[in-house]
Amino acid sequence: MTGRQTGTGKFANMSGQYEIKNLLFEYRSVVTNDPPIVQDRGVGKPFMAFVLERMMDFVAKELGIDRLKVREINFITPDKMPYTTASGEVYESGNYPATFKKALDLFDYRNRLKEQEKLRKEGRLVGIGISCGIEPGTSNLGYYFLSKKEEPDYNGAGQMSTVEIAQDGRIKVNMNGPEIGTGHVTTIAQVVADIFGVRPSYICGYLLKRIQ
């Protein structure tokens, strides 16, 4: 993962789950004697979410509006799906208001606020943070396509795999990437099994563990 990708790659989903019409992005890559190699996992997303969510809190404070309400007002609603962001990404589906409400209910947010107030009166420093985030399911290249004259007939990145049926009836899948703890094994087995109309246990192959 290069230093360039750290910034430009995250511009792709800079607006997150909010209906933001305009984006201004400034990025600098500094050349040194060392290769511009940075951390890979979790690259870029934390600081993007931090900036966006802090903006929501600042807006709420400036306007005197509840921070939950500010987020609810700005969420992309289900009726606008599929939704194209200002950076060219396409969100196929999603119900962010409902997900947000569900998370608050599970956390018991209102009662937590009462508990927070009580603890603060006892001299304890207790805070409750609100943060929302969205993560693309693949390398969404809408921001790249915006600079091209031709309109692509797809959205996102592509990978190649080969699928073959063995003599014993098992289906062998050869992937171009390993399992790194992100669910590739389960996902590939389920997708291929659904296409062929068999159980996932029939799927095996190079770089894939046998699904039992």
Confidence at residue 211, expressed as pLDDT on a 0 to 100 scale: 40
Same domain, 80 and 111: yes
Q: What is the pLDDT along the chain (212 residues), one digit of tens a residue?
A: 445 555 555 666 778 899 998 888 777 767 777 665 555 555 666 777 888 899 999 999 999 999 999 999 999 999 999 998 887 788 888 999 999 999 999 999 999 999 999 999 999 999 999 999 887 665 555 555 555 555 555 555 556 778 888 888 888 888 766 666 777 778 888 888 899 888 888 777 544 444 43
Confidence at residue 201, expressed as pLDDT on a 0 to 100 scale: 81
Confidence at residue 212, expressed as pLDDT on a 0 to 100 scale: 36
Same domain, 176 and 104: no
Domain that holds residue 74: 3-144
Report the DSSP beta bridge partners of residue 18: 75
Number of domains in the chain: 2
Same domain, 9 and 46: yes
Confidence at residue 207, expressed as pLDDT on a 0 to 100 scale: 45
| 15 lies in some domain | yes
Residue 182's Cα: distance from chain center in Å? 13
Tell me which residue of 43, 7, 155 sits closest to 91, measured CA to CA.
155
| 23 lies in some domain | yes
| 100 lies in some domain | yes
Same domain, 168 and 64: no
Same domain, 181 and 129: no
Which CATH number is 58's domain given?
3.30.365
Same domain, 101 and 192: no
Residue type, 189: A
Tell me the DSSP string of 22-65. Answer: -----------SS--B---TT-SHHHHHHHHHHHHHHHHHHHT-
Long-range CB contacts for residues 175-182, cutoff 8 Å, separation at least 24? 175/205, 175/206, 175/207, 175/208, 177/207, 178/207, 179/207, 179/208, 179/209
| 42 lies in some domain | yes
Q: What are phi and psi of 18, to 5 degrees?
A: -105, 150
What is the end-to-end Cα distance of the chain in Å, rounded? 34
Q: What are phi and psi of 163, to 5 degrees?
A: -125, 130
* Largest separation between any pair of C-alpha atoms in the chain: 72
| 178 lies in some domain | yes
Same domain, 122 and 173: no
Same domain, 62 and 102: yes
Same domain, 140 and 169: no
The predicted model scores a pTM of 0.62
Look up residue 159 and give its two tokens: 């990978």
| 155 lies in some domain | no
Sorted by sequence, the CB contacts under 8 Å of residue 201 that are 6+ apart come out as 210, 211, 212
| 137 lies in some domain | yes
Same domain, 135 and 175: no
Confidence at residue 127, expressed as pLDDT on a 0 to 100 scale: 92
